[in-house]
């Protein structure tokens, strides 16, 4: 598996916007090809935006993520005491520390980024529901395009809006 280093900006038809404090996205080459194929199958008004892929745990970025994660878990527990069973799904590294086949994607509609989670993972479920309703048609198109290329969406509702997905290994 080979990794590509993508700097912020447009790469073919996909925008790369590394999530702070990252300055680049390291992505598996096949995963990137599949993402481009997904983009190519979408109607012209819909764009994919790549924000996160491989983040090795031992780097400064990995350590920063660990600190954010601890603070995040604490805050999430305060805000949503009844959603504690989601903490592993939301704050786990979800494979980002393993390899570049685990990615977070956002979408643009007519070139404007759609904030499905305006308060990140702390966005209340009721707000999420309103946004899903508003953007549902486009969201379904994106999810279908990703699934057709072999991506699996995260099972947690909040993570799936992130849009965290994993390229499924091809069974030989």
Residues that bind Zn ion in the complex, under the rule CB under 5 A: 94, 104, 164
Measured CA to CA in angstroms, residue 157 lies from 43, 83, 85, 130 at distances of: 25, 12, 13, 13
Q: Nearer Cβ to Zn ion, position 149 or 164?
A: 164
Please, which residue, 53 or 114, has the CB nearer to Zn ion? Answer: 53
**Vertex 4, ends 69 and 168: CA angle to 5°?**
70
Length of the chain: 172
Strands 46-52, 25-28: pairing kind: unpaired
Measured from the CB atom, the residue of 102 and 145 that comes closer to Zn ion is: 102
Looking at the Cβ atoms of 31 and 94, the one nearer to Zn ion is 94
Q: What is the closest distance, in whole angstroms, from the C-beta atom of residue 43 to Zn ion in the complex?
A: 25
- Shortest CB 51 distance to Zn ion, Å: 9
The distance from CA 154 to its chain's CA centroid, rounded to whole angstroms, is: 9
User: Closest approach of Cβ 103 to Zn ion, in Å?
Assistant: 7
Q: Which is nearer to Zn ion, 99 or 104 (CB)?
A: 104
Q: In whole angstroms, what separates CA 24 from the centre of its chain?
A: 15
- Per-residue b/e over 101-139, b at no fewer than 16 CB within 10 Å? bbbbbbbbeeeeebebbeeebebeeeebeebeeebeebb
**CB closest to Zn ion, residue no:** 164
Compute the least distance from the CB of residue 5 to Zn ion, in Å.
18
In the complex, the smallest distance separating the C-beta of residue 41 from Zn ion, rounded to whole angstroms, is: 22
């Amino acid at each position: 598996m080979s990794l590509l280093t993508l700097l912020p900006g447009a790469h073919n038809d996909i925008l790369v916007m590394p999530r702070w404090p990252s300055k680049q996205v390291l992505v598996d080459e096949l995963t990137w090809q599949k993402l481009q194929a997904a983009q190519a199958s979408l109607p012209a008004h819909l764009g994919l935006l790549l924000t996160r892929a491989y983040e090795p745990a031992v780097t400064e970025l990995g350590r920063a993520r660990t600190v954010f994660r601890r603070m995040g878990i604490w805050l999430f527990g305060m805000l949503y005491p009844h959603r504690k069973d989601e903490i592993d799904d939301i704050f786990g590294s979800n494979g980002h520390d393993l390899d570049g086949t685990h990615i977070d994607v956002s979408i643009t509609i007519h070139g404007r980024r759609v904030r499905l989670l305006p308060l990140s993972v702390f966005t209340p479920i009721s707000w999420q529901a309103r946004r899903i309703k508003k953007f549902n048609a486009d969201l379904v198109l994106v999810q279908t395009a990703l699934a057709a290329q072999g991506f699996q969406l995260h099972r947690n509702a909040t993570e799936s809006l992130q849009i965290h997905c994993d390229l499924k290994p091809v069974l030989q």
